[in-house]
Each structure stands twice: as structure tokens, then as C-alpha cells.
Amino acid sequence: MPGLKHEKLCLPPVAGVDEAGRGPLAGPVVAAAVILPAKGVPRGLDDSKKLSASERERLFGRLQDCARIGVGIVEPDEIDRLNIYWATMKAMTLAVEALGVDPGHVLVDGNRLPRWTYAATALVGGDGKSASIAAASIIAKQTRDRMMIELAEAHPQYHWHSNKGYGCPRHLAALRDHGPTPIHRRSFAPVARACAQFGLPL
């Protein structure tokens, strides 16, 4: 389980940063930055992918009550303009800026850091090592999942309530049958093919 070993080596306040939504064909990429409280860190923090939906939702609520949180969102049109890598870097930067305080150090999940002036460390597999990053992974995923469930109401044929925009067979079949929506990422190959099929611009 992730702990606070890495946080204790850094100048406080320490923000953990993670993102959700690099791979989907539709929807935004969402990043979160979380500064955990000095006391009362919620039990059970872990990589969001290892938690059940109900456990993520419970921890999401607990973190909202006790932690300082910033969220950064980059929409599909900007993902297409920047590419997904730079869109993710921008979402992370927006998330840290949204904290409302300058962190003493930032711990980022992965092996790359945005171009910022904060002292920062990239941790591969960080959401399984750092409690702050694990918390950020939960906030980012739950925020994005909620957005995709809401978007699914306007576009039910794509089944985003269950696939969250990822390219599962039902989503790909719906793309072929109905074409892309404004929420789809046109720079992603399956969506680009659907645009060509329906005569839509990229």
C-alpha cells in the first residue's frame, strides 16, 4: 500500500499529482493535485485502478473533506491541438495551480514532469508508492468518471456510462454506426477513421 515515505523526504507542503484519461477516444484528460492533511489521512488510499468503484467514491468524499485539492481539465479539442502528451502536462499544471498554494515539492506519477518551476520528482508507479499520488489518482479518476457518466446521457449509443470513453468493442461499433461526436478526440486513429467514413473534418 502507498505510504508517506516519499513525502517525508520533501519540503512541505507536498502535492501528489496524477491524471486520468490519457487513453480514451472521447472525453477530457483530467489531472488532480492533492495535499494531504498532517493528521487524519484517510485509510485505504491506493492506486485508483486497484479500488472498486464504491471504495473510490468513499475515498473521494473523505478526501474532499480533509485534503487540499486542485483539478485540471483539458477538453478534447485542445487534446487534438496539443497532442495527448502535452495536454496531460497542461492538465497537471492546471491542477497544481488550482491548489491555491505553492507546494514545497510535487510528486508526479510517471517518468516525465511538466515544464514548471516547482521542485518535483517523477515516480514510476507512484500511485502505488505515494499516498499523495494515490489520493490524486482517486480524485482524477472519480472526477473524470462523473463527467463521462453525465456526457453519456446526451450520447447514450456510445455507452460512456460503462466504458468512460475507452475504445471497447461497443464504443468502436457505435463510432462506425453513428460517427464521432464533438466529445471525441479526432487525433486518435479510430476516431479519425470514423471522421473519414462520415466525411467529417479532423
109 is in an annotated binding site: yes
Contact 62, 149 (CB under 8 A): no
CA–CA–CA angle 186, 188, 192 (5° rounding): 55
Q: Cβ distance 19 to 140 under 8 Å?
A: yes
Q: Which amino acid, 50?
A: K
How many angstroms separate the CA atoms of 149 and 31, rounded?
18
**Strands laid side by side in the 29-35 sheet:** 68-74, 29-35, 14-20, 105-109, 120-123
Burial class (CB in 10 A: 0-12, 13-18, 19+), 14: buried
19 labelled ligand-binding: yes
- How far, in Å, CA of 122 to CA of 16, rounded? 10
Classify 132 as helix, strand or coil: helix
Instruction: Cite the annotated binding site by residue number.
Output: 18-19, 109
Instruction: Cite the annotated binding site for a divalent metal cation by residue number.
Output: 18-19, 109
